[in-house]
Amino acid sequence: MISTKEEFFKYLAQTSTIPMAVEIDKAEGVWLYDNKGKRYLDLISGISVNIIGHRHPEVIKAIHNQLEKYLHVMVYGEFILSPQTKLAQRICSTLPSSLNNVFFVNSGSEAIEGAMKLSKRASERTKTISFKNGYHGSTHGAMSIMGCESAKNSFRPLLPDTDIITFNDTDSLSRIDNKTACVVAETIQGEAGAITPDKSFMKALRERCNETGALLILDEIQCGVGRTGKLWAFEHYGIVPDILTIAKGLGGGLPIGAFVASKDLMHQLTHDPVLGHISTFGGNPLCCAAALATLNVIINEKTYLKAESKEKLFKANLKHHFIKSIKGKGLMLAIEFESFEQNKRIIDRCIQKGIITDWFLFAPHCLRIAPPLIINEEQIIEACNSINEAIEEEEEEKRRKIIN
Ligand code: PMP
């Protein structure tokens, strides 16, 4: 009989040449268990998804309750479904009053597509500006604004009228002009290696958008929902976007995304043409119920407020001269090494030691630390000890190679 691992390589589309290929049997809290019963501490949360851990009891309860009532019943926006309305209200209750209307979709990329379309429709402009090393998804529109030319070249032609400028460089903001429909920025760049901008840059970005009438889209698909120590990362910078995109952590393990704007702005999607954006599965009731439970846990238990002290604990316990820097904010951190090769060897050793981590798309020399926010002090120390050990073994290996 063919094993699950063989089926994985035979039948599943492979996009990575080096998949981790850990066969997961179950997951609970911060722990993943493979098919041989080995336990792993999850330092990446399925890339910033399992924000309150795997299978949080409140999320499971909400899913069960909804399961008993109904699953999909109609395309998005026709029937009145309380999981959707309650979640939209809850999201808006956490945001500044100008962000008071939510369009639910199924993923981060779709949230970006919707936000880009809304900005074009509302501004009647076509130009889009985004940032070097920015990642916004893998669909055509989202890929058009990706800040990495080599990843895009095989998929051209992409959207016309896009311009990529430098993140955290105030001078480059002059390229935003009165032909610009929108500027799309991750509040904290994820795949670039957890790059935090200066407050002055974010203020200047907001001002330049105001001056030119370009809509500011902040992508918090990776950095939102409490990951950086505030519920929304833009709160660190004292600015408010015109459109906010969210996904990943929002669903607590189920797929959901959203773009949020003012009611006036969002209203543009109802005419010229009518049904300006359509989604069959957007706002799936089960996903909305899971998302509402997730958000309620994070807000009621103030889980996100502890991200900053946990960041400090990681930084205090990760000490080695191979570490060139630790970037990021809260529990969205990147440990910078000399090269991808060195980082990959350290990551592989971590996985052997029962610590799941990986690297970043546009910063392959950086090791990702984005555990569920519920990770406790003891688990942080355990993770740091294993990472330090993996680095020491790397140093030992290097020494041996020099001697031979
Ligand atoms: N924006 C950002 C900042 C992301 O990190 C990602 C996913 N890594 C996306 C958009 C795309 O999300 P999805 O994979 O759900 O389409």
Query: Per-residue DSSP letters for 326-386?
Result: EEEETTEEEEE-S-HHHHHHHHHHHHHTTEE--EETTEEEEEEE---TT--HHHHHHHHHH
- Say how far apart CA 160 and CA 145 lie, in whole Å: 10
Cα–chain center distance at 145:
16
Alpha carbon distance 308, 311 (integer Å): 5
Query: What are the residue ranges spanned by the domains of the chain?
Result: 4-56+306-403, 57-300
Contact by Cβ (8 Å): 114, 259: yes
Selection from 90, 38, 43 nearest residue 374 by Cα: 43
Omega within 30 of 0 (cis) for the link into 273: yes
Ligand 1 atom nearest to 134, measured from its CA: 3
Identify which of 49, 248, 250, 287 to mutate to test ligand 1's pocket (most ligand atoms within 8 A of the CB). 248
Between the CA of 221 and the centroid of ligand 1 the distance, in Å, is 6
* pTM for the structure as a whole: 0.97
State the pLDDT at residue 183: 98
CA distances from 261 to 29, 267, 276 (A): 33, 10, 15
Correct CATH for 57-300 of 3.40.640.10, 3.40.50.970, 3.30.200.20, 3.90.1480.20: 3.40.640.10
Q: What separation in Å is there between the alpha carbon of 232 and the centre of ligand 1?
A: 16
Instruction: Please tell me the distance between residue 389's alpha carbon and the centre of ligand 1 in angstroms.
Output: 32
What pLDDT score was predicted for residue 404?
Answer: 76
Residue with tokens 């309380």: 82
Angle ∠(213,219,225) on CA atoms, nearest 5: 130
Residues with a CB atom less than 6 Å from ligand 1 = 47, 107-109, 112, 135-137, 186, 190, 219, 221-222, 247
Q: Would you say domain 4-56+306-403 falls under CATH 3.90.1150.10?
A: yes
> CA–CA separation, 275 vs 263, rounded Å?
15
pLDDT the model gives residue 382: 97
How high is the pLDDT of residue 402?
87
Residue 147 tokens read as 């800040």
Which residues in the chain come in under a pLDDT of 50? none
Give the residue whose CA is nearest to atom 2 of ligand 1: 136
CB 313 within 8 A of CB 229: no
Residue for token pair 């060897």: 345
Answer yes or no: are the C-beta atoms of 79 and 73 closer than 8 Å: yes
What separation in Å is there between the alpha carbon of 137 and the centre of ligand 1?
5
Residue 101 dihedral angles phi and psi, to the nearest 5°: -145, 135
The type of residue at 271 is H
d(CA 348, CA 371): 17
